[in-house]
A and B are shown apart, each in its own frame.
Chain A
């Protein structure tokens, strides 16, 4: 049943709702508290930078055990440490030792590929640049898949279109055209 209220009642209800909503807004932290958080943020950023450097150093060291490299690659993806992007792309085909069951489960097989996907749009310029110069069929496909997911695809298309405008090399232009078309394709 539809309720009908007189205008005056409506006004009171509206005021109540307004004040409830206004009153429910989270309070700003105290000035001293926010200063502490600003310092913490700075510290966290410095720590992240240091962790990223350390992980990248281990990943780049040929003597590092394979298993440790794999863990570092995955951690770098979670951290989105951008200086590691070239190394992750270089080590794209490093395989995580795994017992079956399908060679098509590329997320589970290639830790660097998986890490690059975790960077989402932050990795797109590096991925596109690497893709257009890549000649190996397998690496090219893995780079393509790293851009194909819903989070990176649009950015990759925009970035590739931007590159097209300045590119002089006809071969690279053709590859960019194919890349854009394939990423835009629903299938």
Chain B
């Protein structure tokens, strides 16, 4: 039953018309949603999060039924027609990062607004503490290492038209884990706009009533902080309601996590590296990774670039998995995957961008810190990040999945030192020295060419994965000194912008490591890795080729997660100042 509000304070216009009913234009552009009877509470009452719902959320048990146009409804009566106009209610939401235009009426529910779940450290007061989040600050104002908060979404409640003095507008949080603030930087604990009331509907809805007198110039402006990454698109649902008429906007909070660091030795247990045999029919057997169980849906991928094939694990016997390749088309909402790879030392198949693969080919090397390289002498790694929500940017033309709005960029901060020792031995000389940039979000190892994809990155998600690679070291294995010690620490992270514009990348140059401008927002943790090389010329002269220095600890020749302090060169160390 419709509870469509006849109580609404409509402008009642009475027209005296001699037997003529006028056709009247609608007074409101938006269809309104009809309040429903209360259903079961699917929320925990606190987080308002619909985790685990695979489709656009929330998915209530009812389907919102758009009303017909809100036309003034003529009522006949003794030659008198009464026309009641419902109030126009308009709620607007903006993408994060200070978007100047609201998401359009047409897209505010179907596409919604995007921003970062507020797990980054925009103001830089965390000093690279991985646990520090803006989420925990009551005010996010710039420190020397950061900027004022940019990640809250502007929310504009427009004064209903018409509205009546001494009435109230409701701000309703139907779903999503968010907080509302009166300032774009939060502005302190007292500046939070709390929703103090609840009503049980299909979900437990939190709301607050705002007297119309509190609107300024017809607007009541708030800032929305997304406090948890969205498990699905548009899981955040906010409404403005007045006299039973509602307007709804939706939003998505992005967050990205490192899901692998590949160096040829780590994490191999999750990748069966050999196809054991083909079997009759739809099954194939691979070595069992520890994490899989019978009945699990997985993906079988090969290094030939073909689409992954959906499969189900139907048996595990003595470390061998039997997969059933189901007779069904390509399915995106997979529950797991198995990768079959050429071997553990090559790029993942989902790192399928032309540029990253060509770059890897041009190095003619393998992942890790190989002992006997052909020509290149470098430590090579691949970092994999997994995007959330699933499906983000999986179709560049689909705005409902961020296409044309969201731009991702894997980026990097590095500190490093290099020391060389002459062919004749003696003290080391410091030949390279670069420190981390001062700013939390400022890259200093992210060069690129104009209007050209970056070679060492694949920022277009494939199966929700994006990739970067790096190969600190020397393209040429000709020794330029008797011994070289080269140590790097790096932060690898992802940043995002919501205006569909590319990030700015400085050109590579020989002068050093140019800082990139701080752009967008960090949308992943700052993941650490290090690379260390200790090489000696063999023979020990200008015709020498690099070899890993014999007898040094293994950590002096590796590329792996975490940081190791750069430290000092081996004995006899750096020459003392004269």
A residues engaging B (CB < 8 A)?
95, 97-110, 137-138, 140-142, 144-145, 148-150, 182, 185-187
Contact = CB atoms under 8 A, between A and B. Distances in A.
Contacts of A145: 358-359, 362, 455
B58 to A, nearest CB: 33
Contact of B418 (A97, A99, A103): A99
B137 interface: no
A144 B478 contact: no
B295 interface: no
Given A97-B478, A145-B358, A103 B451 contact: no
B455 A99 contact: no
Contact of A141 (B359, B470, B484, B486): B359
A100 B486 contact: yes
B510 A102 contact: no
A97 B361 contact: no
Residue from the set A109, A138, A148, A187 with the largest chain B CB neighbour count within 10 Å: A187
B460 interface: yes
Given A102-B470, A103-B474, A185 B354 contact: yes
A101 B510 CA distance: 10
A108 B508 contact: yes
Contacts of B432: 99-101
Contact of B472 (A101, A144, A186): A101
A186 to B, nearest CB: 7
Nearest to B431: A99
Contact of A144 (B358, B420, B453, B513): B358
B476 interface: yes
B321 interface: no
B473 interface: yes
Interface string B153-178: 00000000000000000000000000
Nearest to A181: B354
B471 A140 contact: no
Nearest to B434: A101
A102 B450 contact: no
B364 A137 contact: yes
B233 interface: no
A187 B460 contact: yes
A149 B452 contact: yes
Given A103-B363, A104-B363, A185-B354, A148 B486 contact: no
Contact of A187 (B353, B484, B488): B353
Contact of B450 (A100, A105, A150, A182): A150
A142 to B, nearest CB: 6
B542 to A, nearest CB: 11
Contact of B416 (A101, A148, A150): A101
B134 interface: no
30 contacts: A97-B478, A98-B510, A99-B420, A99-B431, A99-B484, A100-B418, A100-B474, A101-B472, A101-B513, A102-B445, A102-B471, A103-B471, A103-B472, A103-B474, A105-B508, A106-B359, A106-B362, A106-B455, A109-B475, A137-B364, A138-B361, A141-B359, A141-B361, A145-B358, A145-B362, A148-B355, A150-B449, A186-B453, A186-B460, A187-B459
A77 B473 CA distance: 27
Nearest to A95: B476
Nearest to A66: B478
A145 B362 CA distance: 9
Contacts of A105: 447, 508
Interface in B329-383: 353-355, 358-359, 361-365, 376-378, 380
B527 to A, nearest CB: 18
B440 interface: no
A135 to B, nearest CB: 13
A104 B460 contact: no
A138 B360 CA distance: 9
Contacts of A102: 378, 445, 470-473
B500 to A, nearest CB: 13
B476 to A, nearest CB: 4
Contact of B508 (A95, A107, A144, A187): A107
Contacts of A97: 476, 478, 480
B532 to A, nearest CB: 12
B442 to A, nearest CB: 18
Nearest to B374: A138
Contact of B473 (A100, A107, A182): A100
A145 to B, nearest CB: 6
A102 B476 CA distance: 11
B449 A149 contact: yes
Contacts of B476: 95, 97-98, 109
* 7 A-B pairs with the lowest CB-CB distances in the bound complex, closest first: A141-B362, A95-B476, A103-B378, A103-B471, A141-B361, A150-B451, A141-B358
B474 A98 contact: yes
Contact of A103 (B358, B459, B473): B473
A98 B418 CA distance: 13
B150 interface: no
A106 B354 CA distance: 16
B456 A104 contact: yes
Contacts of A110: 475
Contacts of A141: 358-359, 361-362
Contacts of B324: none
A59 B483 CA distance: 30
B392 to A, nearest CB: 15
A98 B376 CA distance: 13
A138 B362 contact: yes
A106 B474 CA distance: 11
B479 to A, nearest CB: 10
Contacts of B484: 99
Interface in B180-235: none
B469 interface: yes
Contact of B354 (A95, A101, A150, A182): A182
Given A104-B471, A141-B361, A149-B449, 14 more contacts: A95-B478, A97-B478, A99-B431, A101-B432, A103-B474, A104-B359, A104-B363, A104-B469, A105-B447, A106-B475, A108-B510, A138-B361, A142-B362, A187-B459
Nearest to B445: A102
> Which one of A109, A110, A140, A141 has the highest number of Cβ atoms from chain B below 10 Å of its Cβ?
A141
B458 interface: yes
Contacts of B416: 100-101
Nearest to A148: B452
Contacts of A95: 475-476, 478
Contacts of B458: 187
Interface in B232-279: none
A77 to B, nearest CB: 16
Interface string B462-473: 000000011111
Contacts of B460: 186-187
Contacts of A99: 418, 420, 431-432, 474, 480, 484
Contact of A150 (B380, B420, B452): B452
A187 B418 contact: no
